[in-house]
A and B are shown apart, each in its own frame.
Chain A
Amino acid sequence: MTKIIVNATHKGGEGKTTNSIMLAEYCALVKKYKTLIIDMDPQANFSGRYIQMEYDPAYRGGKIPAIHPDYESNVDSEWDGRSSIANIFYGEEVVPYPTSIPNLELLPAHSHKLQEAEAVTKNEVLEKVHLQLKRFLELPDVRDSYDIIIIDTPPSKGPLTIAAVKAASHIVIPAQMEQFSIEGIYGMLQLWKQESYYRTKNNPIDLIGILPNQVRDIKLHKQFLEGLKMMKGVSDYVMPRVIKKRAIYTEILVEDANPKSIFELPPHNVARLEYESACQYIMERVFSHGKEKSISNQ
């Protein structure tokens, strides 16, 4: 079955998008999985890395995906040529965009439409938003087309993040080892707990864990990481991998970066090895779900 990983934490700047990028490129470039990436964040940074995003003429500062390469204005009379994941909330068709990376397809964000979905408060509509992504990703058409789906979420605990969590089979919580970040972890664990109450045995939500991110060689980071590892139960969810703070992780995001992906760096590059090891850990957990548990229970 197609696995769905969501990178989530409601605190901003923890590395959700970076981590989504790394995982997506690892899956497509290194593992050659048929990968779909979904951008639920109205900021649309994740989308912008893979396709041309345009400024929304109607809402200043907002972004909309460029015209789809397959769009033909004389044939598609019903379609304006743009497609985003937000369409699912409007009962409109979604058409994934190809990217320059083989095996990697994208359902981009649409700032204004996503913001509207995020702002929903009326109960009946809210429930629809919460379940819409899950329903969409359960469609046989979607399931049959991809091995893995990676979702990037906005820095909030709102309807969009909840929708992503409800659709997910696995959660990764990237977090810095700092005060506000740990509080962010708490909030996300609440969301995971709440969702796990509702899941059946055949359809569990598996918390892969907290990925310590942007870790520096300072006492605060070391002691907070140790602190997390000392906590009863929580220690099982601190990933045994750490992403250090390195300039290369942000340099690689620049538009004309060369190479464009961490996984195109020489195989022995320290940064590549570090992120590859984290991605490998995550993917092993994702695809050995169930097996891992029975081993640790013995």
Chain B
Amino acid sequence: MTVQEQTPQEPSHVSRRTFIKVVIASGAAVSASAYLFRGPTLLGQGSLPGAVERLMTLNVNGQMRRVDVMKQETLAMTLRYKLGLTGTKLGCDRSECGACTVLIDDVPHYSCSILTHTVRAKKILTIEGLETANGTLHPVQQAVVDEQGFQCAFCMSGFIMATVGFLKTNPDPTRAELAHGISGNLCRCMDYDKILRSMMRAAQYMQRTT
């Protein structure tokens, strides 16, 4: 799920290697995850060759959001700290835990390892975008509520997004197929039994609604 989504019209070809290099160059490698660029001009960082436009429009949860993005900024950072969508969680910031999973054009991705610049013109869906405007929960959310799934729930939005994405490709999974489909997410409360039961119920709900 860490495959880089390339946009054809993207002026800079941002590979994973370049991504890591940029992060290191920005001094962020000292910590696992330096973030936040509230005062980006302070450092007076010069543009790298092939630098991209900073002001961009993102399609998030069906809304067009204008946002100022640094070139090394990950989608998780943009969502959480620029757009205030804190339902997307950062558990590891390195594609290990899945807490930051969001859908990009209906496909689950680790938003900690996607550069925001690579997702312009794509549809991004986060946990905040699942509930309808009148407050009806998405069937996957409703199933979690009905099974009292998860414990601390820090991993929950990632698991829910991974399930929403997986059920689009396999709407009638077996328990084993579903487990495989969401195995890119870790739950440290280890509530896997209730999670699987919730998500199997979700598959039933989805079939009923479609």
Do A and B originate from a single complex? Answer: no
Interface, chain B (partner A; CB < 8 A): none
